[in-house]
Amino acid sequence: ALICWFGGRFLLPANQQNALPALRVLAPTVFLSAILGVLRGYFQAHRTMTPTSVSQILEQIMNAVVSVLAAWLLVRGAAGQGNTAEAVYGAMGGTLGTGAGVLVGLLFMLFVYGINRNYFRRRVGRDHTGQEESYGEILRMLLWMITPIIFTSFIYNCSAYLDSYLYSSLQGWHGFDADAISSAYGEYSNYFVPMAGIPLALASAGTSAMMPEVSGKFAVGNLSGANRQVSQTLRLSMFICIPSAVGMMVLAYPLMGVLFPSSTALAARLMIFGSVYILTDAFSIISGGVLQAIGHQRMALVNAGISLGANLGSLALLLLAAPQMDIYAVLISNIIFSFVCCIANIISMRMLLGYRQDIRRIYLEPAAASAVMGILVMLMYYLLFRLTRRPFIGLLVAVLAGMIVYLVMYVICSHTTEEEMYSYPMGGRLVKILRLLHVYR
């Protein structure tokens, strides 16, 4: 946090010093994230994933809401000061959203800890193991277990900074205008990334909930049980991520226009071409969580390092060979990052768990239902827009109708029983809706 605040000018490329205010706004977020991570780890150690999962969802929702609102208010306040000033204030607004999300997640975890504090104290009081480890032993154990996880998280998080630095430097070397570079990267980082982060937050929550089960089954040698748990988690994640990606692709223009009024058509085009990133990144998050759950943190670290190399190498190659690709090169290189990570993690899971994916149930069934949903949603939105000329009304009706269409088509395509549906997120409510629609009787 101190480095971001005091050393930001040295972290940014010479032609991107306008991003310094946004980087300083991010500094408190770095500090708060460390505390939030400790609290999440504390509850996970007590084998309860619900607080972590809920806090991650709240974090992403608040991130999206505050990013939109703060960017809109700050850009509006900077109106008339030029495109550069508007871009700077828009970036600050998007960064405020990240901080607000972390703060809400932290407050929620503190609230849950406060409620359960007496319970934890009673558990400590009843603990009579008779063996107390020294602080040195605890520190060595933490370093051995956590260091690979920290470096893996570092790779995931620093990739965005390295992408920004490499993109700005190479495009500046090609002679591109600094304001144009800032504006294009702002469309990517302030609009596309938060939108993609919403379904990815749900994938992260599913990973957190899965880890204790997979770890426990792997520890006792129940590989088939661990594989079933992994498949179930992937199936639930793709149940959410695939329709999210399709919906964001077919409704990219109205979504960006309604949620981010200050965005341009570039943000919508990034959403259209980058929707596949939601799927590859979701799988890389889950598969990396599996490797960490079974005690192979170093393998997850190596795979992430290989992926980062592929990311930076492909970005440099694309911008050197075809600088006119501009910000699309950053998007493609990030897709390559998550795709390479997926492949590396799949190979590792196959070696360690003998894992085999059920392609039909995990991918094809939700993809078929999402295809039908996407066509109907697109037709419905543009029909309503022609009638009302109000994008918000058309978008709201199309999204709500799309959710119902997808749910019905998914049950038809996958033959999911009522009992199986209860294991899905908000399964009880989904069953009630399907009963009202006479899909279940």
* Least confident interval from 32-36, 129-133, 293-297, 355-359: 129-133
Residue 135 lies inside a defined structural domain of this protein: no
Query: What is residue 209's predicted lDDT score, i.e. its pLDDT?
Result: 65
Say which DSSP state 260 is in: -
With a cut of 80, say whether residue 93 has pLDDT above it.
Answer: no
pLDDT greater than 80 at residue 202 = no
Where does the pLDDT of residue 441 fall: very low under 50, low under 70, confident under 90, or very high at 90 and above? confident
- Is residue 254 a part of any domain in this protein? yes
- Of 357, 392, 420, the position where a domain reaches its end is 357
- Full domain range(s) for residue 429: 358-441
| Residues 279/238, Cβ–Cβ less than 8 Å | yes
In a domain, 140, yes or no: no
What integer is the mean pLDDT of 99-112? 90
- Work out the pLDDT band at 149, boundaries 50, 70, 90: low
- Is there a single domain that holds both residue 287 and residue 396? no
415: left (phi over 0), alpha (psi -120 to 50) or beta: left
Q: Is residue 199 part of a domain?
A: yes
Considering the domain architecture, whether residues 192 and 258 belong to the same structural domain is answered as yes
What is the reported pLDDT for 129?
67
240: nearest Cα among 289, 196, 175, 296: 196
**Within a domain: residue 141?**
no
| pLDDT of the residue at 13 | 63
Average the pLDDT over 343-347 and give the result.
Answer: 94
Task: Please give the pLDDT value at position 15.
Answer: 58
Structure token pair of residue 289: 């969580």
Mean pLDDT, the chain, integer: 85
Cα gap 40→360, rounded to integer Å: 34
pTM value > 0.75? yes
Say whether pLDDT at 327 is over 80.
yes
Query: Do residue 380 and residue 314 come from a single domain?
Result: no
* pLDDT-derived band at 146, boundaries 50, 70, 90: low
SS3 category, 77: helix
440 domain-assigned: yes
Rounded to whole angstroms, how far apart are CA atoms 34 and 26? 13
Write down which residue in 357, 375, 407 finishes a domain. Answer: 357
426: confidence class by pLDDT, cuts 50, 70, 90 = confident
pLDDT confidence of 49, banded at 50, 70, 90?
Answer: low
Same domain, 367 and 353: no
Q: Is residue 220 assigned to a domain?
A: yes
So what's the pLDDT on residue 400?
A: 94
CA angle 356, 359, 364 (to 5 degrees): 170
Single-letter residue type at 266: L
**Do 172 and 228 fall within a single domain?**
yes
pLDDT at residue 80 greater than cutoff 70 = no
Instruction: Give dist(CA 241, CA 412) in Å, integer.
Output: 19
Whether the per-residue pLDDT at 221 is higher than 80: the answer is yes
- Statement to judge: residues 306 and 440 lie in one domain: no
In the numeric block, which tokens belong to residue 68? Answer: 């939109």
Do residues 197 and 336 share a domain? yes
**pLDDT grade for 205, boundaries at 50, 70 and 90:** low
For residues 347 and 198, membership in a common domain is answered with yes
pLDDT at 145 (0 to 100): 66
Alpha carbons 385 and 391: distance in angstroms, whole number: 6
Number of folded domains in the chain? Answer: 3
The domain boundary, picked from 331, 357, 383, lies at: 357
Q: Looking at residue 206, what is its pLDDT?
A: 61
Q: What is the pLDDT of residue 232?
A: 86
Residue 226 sits in the same domain as residue 337: yes
Would residue 127 count as lying in a domain? Answer: no
Q: Are residues 302 and 396 in the same domain?
A: no
pLDDT above 90 for 117: no
Percent of the chain scoring above 70 in pLDDT:
88
Please check whether residues 292 and 404 belong to one and the same domain.
no
| Number of C-beta neighbours around residue 369 at 10 A | 24
Residues 322 and 184 in one domain: yes
